[in-house]
Amino acid sequence: MVYEDVVDPYPFPESLRKEILNELEKIKPTKKIAKKIVEKCYQAYLSNLVEPGEAAGIVAAQSIGEPGTQMTMRTFHYAGVAEINVTLGLPRLIEILDVRKNPSTPMMTIRLTEEYAKDRNKAKEVANRIEATYITDIADVATDIRNMRIVITPDERALERKGFSFDELKKKIEKGLKTEVVEEGRKLVVQIAEPSFKTLMDTFEKLRKLVLMGIKEIRRVIIRKEGEEYVLYTEGSNLKKVMKIKGVDFSRTTTNNIYEIYEVLGIEAARSALIREAISTLEEQGLEVDLRHLMLVADVMTVDGELKQVGRHGVAGEKQSILARAAFEMTVNNLLEAAVRGDIDNLSGITENIIVGQPIRLGTGDVELIAKINMGGDNK
Amino acid sequence: MKMKLQDHMLVPKHELLSKEEAEEVLKVLNVRKEQLPKIRADDPIAKEIGAKPGDIVRIVRDSPTAGKSVVYRLVI
């Protein structure tokens, strides 16, 4: 590693630096030749950088948009991943860029801590703690109208499978309904105090919706073996609660709900999640889009410290120009409203300047000549 | 056990810059504070490292294209 002091004065990105060092190590040139090689590399690196004034956003939009058209034609339906339905293709891509708070198919990938990941029974234990369990999953519930009561007949096998005891069940129901529950053999009875049919039905509904165990949002958990460890896939998502469950390795647990990631893990995590979700959606469709385009989009969506959506109107909240908006959609409405409000167009964007016939502020149009004119009176 | 959100695989390394470091960074980049990307003071990670509005946070991301990329965000 003698070449480091030759390479290090140049501000190469980390991956490029490593590559150059590796190559130098292979051919083992003298210091002097090495310096020349590195100099050449640096020239090549500089000439490959995006130039100032380059319309990087337009290039990114086109590079994502063109493959997007192929996506429309091929898919508009769902495909199964680990027996869980997940939105894919164009609908999913739109969902990602729109930053929907509730995506149509939220899903989590939960990895477990060492102790739980190796053993199927232990993994099942964690799955039970996460999956929402309702009374109908583990018992038969019937209303007894004549005696104004609800009779719950627990299914012993279901109870055992869920790792739930009879007493626990009783306590949970008592707590959830805030009424007394009477044991009758292996049955539980909820007696309605006032003889009203409505109260009975209301209590019945409440009982059915009571989450006895697990997290409300998580409707289903599937255990899959991946390599050495068991991984849980869930339908529904609640990152904040799942992270706190015992046995869950929170640092490797993710969700496909980007807004949730933003809320729980912050803006930078949301940025990485955006890129990851977008590229995996595109790749799954067999489309190759350079990562840099998606990184640019993700950067723009997160610059202000909060997630902003991008749609056909551009990044939300931007584009104040009236002319640009009028050129896009609802020309008359936009112009009329702007006139009523007395809006001013600063002609700072591209579209406006094309409309009025000025050079646009892009590429070579973005530079201006500044001359220092001597205004003093000393030498004329 | 106290969880550290920074340990999550999606979260890159955040560090709070001291006053001197912040000035140095602004000088090297030749920008004003307000021109930097922002991070909210109520961002979970900003809270975790104790960043106050006006501070600058250095973020070292693992980039698939550049290996490592360093960005700065102004806390607002």
Distance of CA A127 to the CA centre of its chain: 23
Rounded to a whole number, what is the distance in angstroms from the first to the last CA of chain A? 62
Chain-chain contact of A250 with B3 (C-beta, under 8 angstroms): yes
B56 at interface of A, judged by CB pairs closer than 8 A: no
B3 CA to chain A: closest CA distance, Å? 8
Chain-chain contact of B61 with A14 (C-beta, under 8 angstroms): no
Give the dihedral sign, CA A39/A40/A42/A46.
positive
Contact present, B54 and A2 (Cβ < 8 Å): no
For B7, the closest chain A residue by CA position comes to A251
In a domain, A194, yes or no: yes
Chain-chain contact of B40 with A267 (C-beta, under 8 angstroms): yes
User: Do A39 and A73 fall into the same domain?
Assistant: no
Chain B residues touching residue A261 (CB < 8 angstroms):
10
User: Do A192 and A138 fall into the same domain?
Assistant: yes
User: Do A297 and A343 fall into the same domain?
Assistant: no
Chain A residues touching residue B40 (CB < 8 angstroms):
267, 305-306
Chain A residues touching residue B76 (CB < 8 angstroms):
305
Q: For B5-75, CATH number?
A: 3.90.940.20
In a domain, A376, yes or no: no
Kindly report the three-state secondary structure assignment for every residue of A182-234.
Answer: EEECCEEEEECCCCCHHHHHHHHHHHHHCCCECCCCCCEEEEEEECCEEEEEE
Look up tokens 């290039």; give the residue: A59
The pLDDT value recorded for residue A250 is: 87
User: Do A205 and A137 fall into the same domain?
Assistant: yes
User: Do A91 and A25 fall into the same domain?
Assistant: no
A121 CA to chain B: closest CA distance, Å? 24
> Which own/partner pairs from A341-346 qualify as long-range (CB within 8 Å, at least 24 positions apart)?
A345/A321, A346/A320, A346/A321
SS3 call for B28: helix
Chain B contacts in chain A segment 8-67 (CB below 8 A): 13-18
Q: What is the mean pLDDT of each run of 10 residues along chain A (380 residues)?
A: 80 89 88 88 92 89 88 56 72 88 87 86 86 83 80 81 78 78 79 78 82 84 86 88 86 90 92 92 88 93 89 71 83 88 85 88 83 68
A270 CA to chain B: closest CA distance, Å? 8
C-alpha pair distances (Å), B35 with each of A333, B25, B73, B74: 34, 13, 9, 9
Chain-chain contact of A302 with B61 (C-beta, under 8 angstroms): no
> DSSP letters of A249-296?
-GGG-EES-HHHHHHHH-HHHHHHHHHHHHHHHHHHTT----HHHHHH
Look up tokens 């890129």; give the residue: A275
Between CA B18 and CA A336 the distance in angstroms is 51
A284 CA to chain B: closest CA distance, Å? 19
As given in the structure block, the two tokens for residue A133 are 């369990």
The pTM of this model reads 0.84
As given in the structure block, the two tokens for residue A300 are 């723009």
Q: How many domains does chain A have?
A: 4
What is the extent of the structural domain holding A272? 56-105+256-309
ipTM attached to this prediction? 0.93
Burial of A330 (0-12, 13-18, 19+ CB in 10 A): exposed
B50 at interface of A, judged by CB pairs closer than 8 A: no
Between CA A236 and CA A239 the distance in angstroms is 10
Give the number of other Cβ atoms within 10 Å of residue A74's Cβ: 12
A122 at interface of B, judged by CB pairs closer than 8 A: no
User: Do A305 and A328 fall into the same domain?
Assistant: no
CATH label of the domain that carries residue A300: 1.10.1790
B35 CA to chain A: closest CA distance, Å? 10
In a domain, A234, yes or no: no
Encode pLDDT of B22-57 as tens digits.
Answer: 999 999 999 999 999 999 999 999 888 888 899 999
| Average pLDDT score, chain B | 89
Give the number of other Cβ atoms within 10 Å of residue A223's Cβ: 16
In a domain, A228, yes or no: no
Between CA A260 and CA A266 the distance in angstroms is 9
The pLDDT value recorded for residue A277 is: 92
